[in-house]
Structure 1
Amino acid sequence: MELNSATKQKVDDYFLLCEKRIEANSLTKEQMVDFVVSTEFSEWNDMFLYVVNTLKRNYREFIPAAVNIQQHKRYVERFLEDRPEFSRFLKRIQSLLMVWQEKILVVDDDNMLAGLVAAILEDEGAVETAANGDEGLKKIGGKYFAAIVTDVDMPIMDGIEFYKKAVEIYPNMKDRFLFFTSAVGEKRIAFFNKNNLKYLTKPSPIDDIKRAVFEYVQ
């Protein structure tokens, strides 16, 4: 897939302008961000999306490429999110359609808390919820989830049992669990450490939750 002549010329002009400003020591931070955004996403249009969607639908080996494209876009977004002075560039990138969306599962018997965590994570992927480990086990049986955020103390099936049964059936899921719990005793910590599992305590700052899940979906 190649850039059309008009887009290629526009990108070349951006590079030339940027080079001249660097040589003149006059390139501002805002101009640099504008340059990066304009060149990085110059071809992110309907035709680009059509080609990517066709390839990932017909050739499964192309799916990792689509994932990487979307992850790169998200990296740039996260960089700009921490810099309010560049908000207009962030809006430009956020307006672009996705080429891939990871799925995230939140398992908690507190519906209000599960909804809150889901809202916090909606920028990182498509979030689904389950009320206990049994429901969670049924969910992961039908879909691929890049990250599973689960409470520990739940009725019917708790988070630890959910984890054990999940990895028994799907061994590759062992590195996708993030435990989110208010009760962290020595025995529980020992289990997390033994299995190299990550956990957060309730309550945790929003940024900590997003950062932890982002490590799974990146």
Structure 2
Amino acid sequence: MKEPEKNAMVCNIVDWLRGVEERAALFYAEAAAAFAEDLEFSAFLSRLAKEEDDHFKLLNQAATQITQGAIADSCFWVDENLQQNAEAPFVRGRSLLKDNQLSKAALIGIIAEAEFSEWNDIFLYAIGTLRKCGREYQEAAAELDRHRLELEQFILSSPGGEALLAKTGRMHPVWTKCILIVEDEPAVANLIKALVSSHAEVVLAKDGAEGIARIRERYFDVIVSDVEMPKINGIDMYQQALTIDANLNKHFVFFTGTRKPQHHRFFQSENVIMLPKPTSLDRLRKAIKEVAESARPGTLN
């Protein structure tokens, strides 16, 4: 996929999210009508439809603010593969609904698959980048947490619900890897965490000083780090980390917007993975997986 122009990356995320939220609201509304005889379930679906419609309206407002320059450049864009995976449950659900073949159990499975996918993690990232533009965006992030909790409780109360949540990787994960994310921008750190937290334990550090403190405390399979941060930058942290464990050079993924020639010469001389900001989510995830799998036996899906 061709990298979008930098000033189009936020539009790429918000425009895609608008489409998904609109599709989700329509699907839930249609499902509520189809299951109208099941009053409790239909009411639950109607609430979902309203919440997704509220998200859609908020993103319309965000799109306007983007054109006014109220949002910073994004560190990511949404790959076509990720878009298709996130949208697939709604496409499948609407097809089954149209053919009158959508059972309640199948619908609950579709809800679990869709709502606990990376779609909502990306929504939170987008809202996080807009948090300075108004308290409505902060409220939306808090509302999404409540939305997810209600979904989890509803799914758990359904037959086979625990197995459904376990399948999404959002419940009772088996921690086979441990990943440190050193990043001073919370929205970026939280989205990277969301990409891998279903399959690994994740620790966050807000700068290089905190990062090196965490490295002294424990072993990490992967260390994802920015470069230009307060207190200690990512390169100084890397050099200090090697005095703790000389093999940690194989565990680093630098994810940075630095353009300084000396930094890029350093990456080349050390032969470490460096991904520029912005990059695609899929490319970042693959780089983390590659380092995790080479660090020691095991898999990171």
Q: 1:132 to 1:95 in 2, by over 3 A?
A: closer
Q: 1:123: how far off?
A: 3.0
8 Å contact kept, 1:124–1:214: no
Partner of 2:254: 179
Using the alignment, how far apart are the partners of 2:248 and 2:227 within structure 1?
Answer: 17
Amino acid at match of 1:208: R
With the length of structure 1 as denominator, give the TM-score of the two structures: 0.55
Question: 238, 244, 251: which one pairs with 1:163?
Answer: 238
Q: Percent identity of the aligned residues?
A: 31
Question: What one-letter code is carried by the residue in structure 2 that aligns with 1:108?
Answer: E
Does the Cα contact within 8 Å between 1:107 and 1:129 map onto a contact in 2? yes
Q: Distance in 2 between matches of 1:106 and 1:153?
A: 14
In 2, the alpha carbon distance for the partners of 1:184 and 1:120 equals 25
Report what 2:210 is aligned to.
Answer: 135
Q: CA offset at residue 168 of structure 1?
A: 1.4
Cα 1:131–1:210 shift into 2, 3 Å: same
Structure 1 runs of 4+ aligned residues shifted over 3 Å read: 90-100
Aligned equivalents of 2:255, 2:199: Cα separation in 1: 17
- Could you tell me whether the CA contact under 8 Å between 1:105 and 1:145 is conserved in 2? yes
- Aligned residue for 1:50? none
Residue 154 in structure 1 maps to residue 229 in structure 2: yes
**Which of 269, 285, 288 matches 1:194?**
269
CA contact (8 A) 2:267 2:274 kept: yes
Cα deviation, residue 100, structure 1: 4.4
Residues 147/104 of structure 1: CA separation in 2 closer, same or farther (3 Å cut): same
Residue segments in structure 2 that go unaligned for 5+ positions in a row: 1-84, 90-108, 114-162, 294-301
Shift of 1:99: 5.1
Retained in 1: the 8 A contact 2:173–2:199?
no
Counterpart for residue 23 of structure 2 = none
User: Aligned residue for 1:114?
Assistant: 189
Q: Does the CA-based 8 Å contact 1:124-1:217 persist in structure 2?
A: no
Give the aligned residue type for 1:172. N
Query: What is the distance in 2 between the residues matched to 1:202 and 1:143?
Result: 28
1:204 and 2:244 matched: no
CA 1:185–1:95 in 2, change beyond 3 Å: closer, same or farther?
closer
Residue 69 of structure 2: aligned partner: none
TM-score (norm 2): 0.41
Kindly indicate whether the alpha-carbon contact (under 8 Å) linking 2:224 and 2:252 is maintained by their aligned counterparts in 1. yes
Contact 1:108 1:132 in 2 (8 A): yes
Distance 1:119 1:102 in 2: 14
State the alpha-carbon separation in 1 of the partners of residues 188 and 168 from structure 2: 29
Distance 2:228 2:265 in 1: 16
Residue 217, structure 1, aligned to residue 276, structure 2: no
Q: Structure 1, unaligned stretches of length 5 or more?
A: 1-80
Opposite residue 203 of structure 2, the aligned amino acid is E
What is the Cα deviation at residue 95 of structure 1? 6.7
Code of the aligned partner of 1:150: S
Give the alignment of 1:37-52 within 5 angstroms: none
In 2, the alpha carbon distance for the partners of 1:138 and 1:123 equals 25
Cα contact 2:181–2:204 (8 A) shared by 1: yes
What SS does the aligned partner of 1:141 have? helix
Separation in 2 of the partners of 1:174 and 1:135? 18
